[in-house]
Structure 1
Amino acid sequence: MSEPHEVPTVDRPGWRRQTTLFLTGQTISLFGSMLVQYAVMWHLTLETKSGGIMALYAVFGFLPQAVISIFGGVWADRLDRKKLIIGADATIAVVTLALAMFMAAGATDLWLIFVAIAIRSAGAGIQMPAVAALLPQIVPTDKLMRVNGIHGTIQSAMMLVAPAAAAAVYANMSIVAVFYIDVVTAVIGIGLLLAVTVPRLVRSSDGRLGYFDDLVGGLRYVASHAFVRWVLVLYAVVFVLIVAPSFLTPLMIVRTFGEEVWKLTANELAFSIGMVLGGAAVAAWAGTWNRVRMILVSTVVFGGLSIGLGLSTNIWVFFGFMFLLGLSVPAFSTPSYTVLQETVEPEMQGRVFGFVGIVMALSMPFGMAVFGPLADRFSVESLLIWAGVALLLVVALASAVPGGRRAMKAADEHATV
């Protein structure tokens, strides 16, 4: 394995200012994207009340990201990551503006929303690996866990504000107004990112290698790296068995507890408040904790909370479990991202995070393709219970079989004790 060629990991002048600009721009852009996400999800839920439509929304929202991530990860290692992020943001903004104009003119067909969501998803397939790989270029390695924790906390805070803002705009104006706001936030985010200075990344491999060679190199790296494989499997399992069924919680609320928009908003707020507090805790105290143990414990907690959500017969108890679920998310996402950034060579990080994005993006529509139609035949409550039980069984099996123990041992060797 080649030695990484990276800018120094200590004494990077101005790294705090550059990091602040970068995170601020990404947060503002993300806020607009969240407004669109919540507004579209609620719009489809309230207009159709169909698990099949929600499954289609998940497919159009995540499958293009999976396809484009195959290319996005390589682009993030071959091209200027900053320019890739700006290009993706700009494309998403233009598409969102076009959708807003069509809908303002009276075109309300669902296929228009699905096309726009698909293009936004493709932009995310370019943006996600570039963002994840760019951050270690401007942040010293020993500060990554804390910065990732802060980043997660800020994102969670935006998730706290975005549902209320989306509900206010959607209820008092229209979904078109939400789209216009997203365009404005994208422009602001791009402007801030233009002010960020990103150190040049020097590749140690032969610069004459073609795109296909880089793609094959990334595949071989993932195939031969036990820790990366372990993370990818965990992401797949969690997204199929927890994230996908949880995506149906608004449908459960509408069917079981009522159609009031405030209930949908409260559901998102409970989750987001938990994520804010969980992210703050990770940023403050988890800098030296064992990354792998955090990931494993949080996965088990996910399974238990999914069962609790399914057993809830009182809406406030349901919101309580959503809060705990949000509280647990940073203990899974932050250490998994951080340990990849710490252990994967900088010139390979775009491709590795591209594959992480592929797994996440494919797992979600696959899970929804299963759970969405089932939600039209069975209660969402029963699906949440069985998904939680299945996750606990998978984790137990993975911990018991020799192959699973070897993978966790290999992963643990990369963890910071």
Structure 2
Amino acid sequence: MSAAEDAAAVREREAAEDAAADRRREADEDGARTGLRAPLRRRRFRLLYTGQCLSRTGDFVFQVSLAGYAVTSGSPALLAYTLFGQATGTVLMLLAGGALADRFGARAVMLWADLARVLATAGVAAQVAAGGRSVWAIAACGLLLGLGDGAFEPAFTLAFTELLPKAELLAANSLQAIALRTAGIAGAALGGILLAAAGAAVSLGLGTAGFALALALVLLAGRWPVADRPASGDGLFKEATGGIRYVFSHAWLWVSIGSFGVSVALVVAPAKALLPLASADVLGGGASTYSLLVGSQAAGALLGGLLVGRLRRIPPGLLIFGGMAVVCGGFVVLGLSPSVIASVLVAALVGAVLSAATVAWAATLQSRVPGELIGRVSSVDWLISLGVSPLALVAVPHLLAYGAPATVLITAASVALVVSAATALVPAVRSLAWPAAPA
């Protein structure tokens, strides 16, 4: 081989090594951009996320405090009317909330929603502090709280897409899932401690403070740039129903949302009533056994939120609905297993996979729906999930007339398992892909 050929070979080898190094560096950069820390490098997202950690914790403190006060004061109607007003307000506002977010931007709607929730929770705390037991006043506060919730959720979903590139949405939703689970644990504990130590008024007031701090942090974040959204000229009602029209014009959306609705109606919602009864029948024991299952599921959900960002190699359709099939199969096992240890492990798996599936679904919706429609499409998604939950719970006592709790749970979960597995095979769902990381 000549000297010229040797030099050419060396140059080719060096070029190949340089190219391989570039590919490794790009992969490392993509991993850094799509890791859990990536969204937190952005100041506005950090402020928004911190606010939500505080408001979610405050929300759980408020719920626990109100429930504890209702029990200790002998006023169950106070709790029932508050929850009824909140659920009613949420359902009434969801479609309009999404349309308002798409029209005015996420920040404006979140500010007004948080203000409504501050006033509502402060109203309940004031009623309790004054010793008042006016169920109508409490119901009105619950209604205002629900209206704020219904406006906030689709706006918060939209805010992710306004603040972050598509490649960071999965990480951001993972962080949100972690915050929700952590807030549930911390808020429930803090609410119980404050209720016992300082009384219901102080404990409820802390819940109000959580929403107030979230409002302050959204204000501190300042206005953020959003894409121009030319006025459609349509009224708010027509704009609100535009989300429904968009969902039914895309097979992957209506199939996915419908499948989630089936899983919520048959498994996720009724399990709250069926699993305590089924575990008592199959495992024996009482509230302590069920508490162990709930704690295991919560711990699994926290783990699932932490790990889902590492599952980008799995196509989203398979991750979401293959995961939901695993969740439904887990509830079948919980209805059958006589082993406490096995049930605890399965409950942790159910929590982890359910958390991963819901995080992946949120990121998929945010990355594939046009920005000017995300609020309204998110509203439809929330409306289906929240709308079927009360109906499913109401149906549970009637179903128990035809079978034992474990039998009802196993049957419902088996049907939902088949639906979820079939959804993963639908071509429009199977072809879903993650957005590419930015160059």
Q: TM-score with structure 2 length normalisation?
A: 0.77
Closer, same or farther in 2 for the Cα pair 1:277/1:259, shift >3 Å? closer
* Counterpart selection for 1:359 from 381, 384, 390: 384
Structure 1 residue 137, shift from structure 2 partner? 0.8
Closer, same or farther in 2 for the Cα pair 1:266/1:335, shift >3 Å? same
What is residue 148 of structure 1 aligned with on the other side? 173
- Mapped pair 1:295 → 2:313: no
Amino acid corresponding to residue 29 of structure 1 in structure 2? S
Closer, same or farther in 2 for the Cα pair 1:337/1:67, shift >3 Å? same
What is residue 59 of structure 2 aligned with on the other side? 33
Amino acid corresponding to residue 410 of structure 1 in structure 2? A
State the alpha-carbon separation in 1 of the partners of residues 196 and 68 from structure 2. 11
State the alpha-carbon separation in 1 of the partners of residues 334 and 415 from structure 2. 15
Structure 1 residue 356, shift from structure 2 partner? 0.9
Matches within 5 A, 1:8-407: 16-40=42-66, 61-108=86-133, 116-203=141-228, 205-248=230-273, 252=277, 257-258=285-286, 268-283=294-309, 285-311=310-336, 318-371=343-396, 374=399, 380-395=405-420
Structure 1 residue 177, shift from structure 2 partner? 3.8
Kindly indicate whether the alpha-carbon contact (under 8 Å) linking 1:46 and 1:259 is maintained by their aligned counterparts in 2. no
Closer, same or farther in 2 for the Cα pair 1:45/1:185, shift >3 Å? same
Which of 174-183 and 222-231 deviates more?
174-183
- The structure having more radius of gyration, on CA atoms, is 2
Structure 1 residue 140, shift from structure 2 partner? 1.3
State the alpha-carbon separation in 2 of the partners of residues 272 and 186 from structure 1. 23
Closer, same or farther in 2 for the Cα pair 1:107/1:323, shift >3 Å? farther
Structure 1 residue 89, shift from structure 2 partner? 1.5
State the alpha-carbon separation in 2 of the partners of residues 248 and 355 from structure 1. 25
State the alpha-carbon separation in 2 of the partners of residues 344 and 365 from structure 1. 28
Structure 1 residues 28-80: Cα deviation after superposition (integer angstroms, max 9, x where no partner): 111111223345567779999x9x99999876554432221111110010113
Aligned residues: 396
Kindly indicate whether the alpha-carbon contact (under 8 Å) linking 1:148 and 1:338 is maintained by their aligned counterparts in 2. yes
Which of 152-161 and 339-348 deviates more?
152-161
* Counterpart selection for 2:427 from 397, 402, 409: 409
Which of 388-397 and 180-189 deviates more?
388-397
State the alpha-carbon separation in 1 of the partners of residues 261 and 165 from structure 2. 29
State the alpha-carbon separation in 1 of the partners of residues 314 and 223 from structure 2. 29
Kindly indicate whether the alpha-carbon contact (under 8 Å) linking 2:109 and 2:155 is maintained by their aligned counterparts in 1. yes
Closer, same or farther in 2 for the Cα pair 1:37/1:17, shift >3 Å? same
Where structure 1 has 5 or more consecutive residues not aligned to the other structure, the ranges are 1-8, 400-404
Amino acid corresponding to residue 296 of structure 1 in structure 2? F
State the alpha-carbon separation in 2 of the partners of residues 91 and 131 from structure 1. 15
Q: TM-score with structure 1 length normalisation?
A: 0.81
Structure 1 residue 136, shift from structure 2 partner? 1.0
Which of 79-88 and 250-259 deviates more?
250-259
Closer, same or farther in 2 for the Cα pair 1:83/1:386, shift >3 Å? same
Q: In structure 2, the residue corresponding to 1:411 is in which secondary structure?
A: helix
Amino acid corresponding to residue 113 of structure 2 in structure 1? A
Structure 1 residue 233, shift from structure 2 partner? 0.6
Closer, same or farther in 2 for the Cα pair 1:363/1:140, shift >3 Å? same
**CA-based RMSD:** 3.8
Closer, same or farther in 2 for the Cα pair 1:310/1:178, shift >3 Å? farther
Structure 1 residue 212, shift from structure 2 partner? 3.4
State the alpha-carbon separation in 2 of the partners of residues 320 and 36 from structure 1. 31
Structure 1 residue 280, shift from structure 2 partner? 0.5
Closer, same or farther in 2 for the Cα pair 1:25/1:212, shift >3 Å? same
State the alpha-carbon separation in 2 of the partners of residues 380 and 55 from structure 1. 25
Where structure 2 has 5 or more consecutive residues not aligned to the other structure, the ranges are 1-32
